[in-house]
């Protein structure tokens, strides 16, 4: 359960950044209508009581990239 009292499903993803293979794990955190992604050290995750609220606080919205601002969505083309 998250700090906002919502229940989050956490699952490991099979992909990691090239320089983090073997040392880090990428987690996907999902709740109603929201998905977030966080990368953490393996020893941070492989404990009896992982810091879920800390992981959630560091997570990014699914599909986002750290340091890259989301662009303005293009409006649909209008017919001639």
pLDDT at 70: 45
For 3-38, write each residue's pLDDT tens digit. Answer: 667 788 888 887 767 777 778 888 888 888 888 888
User: How buried is 63 (Cβ within 10 angstroms: 0-12 exposed, 13-18 middle, 19+ buried)?
Assistant: exposed
Cα gap 75→68, rounded to integer Å? 21
Domain boundaries, the chain: 9-61
pLDDT at 73: 45
- DSSP characters over 4-21: TS---EEEEES---GGGT
pLDDT at 45: 87
């Amino acid at each position: 359960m998250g700090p906002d009292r919502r229940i989050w499903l956490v699952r490991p993803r099979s992909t990691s950044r090239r320089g983090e293979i073997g040392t880090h794990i990428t987690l996907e955190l999902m709740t109603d209508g929201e998905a977030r992604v966080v990368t953490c050290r393996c020893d941070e995750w492989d404990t009896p009581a992982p810091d879920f609220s800390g992981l959630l606080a560091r997570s990014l919205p699914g599909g986002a990239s750290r340091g890259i601002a989301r662009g303005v969505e293009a409006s649909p083309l209008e017919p001639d």
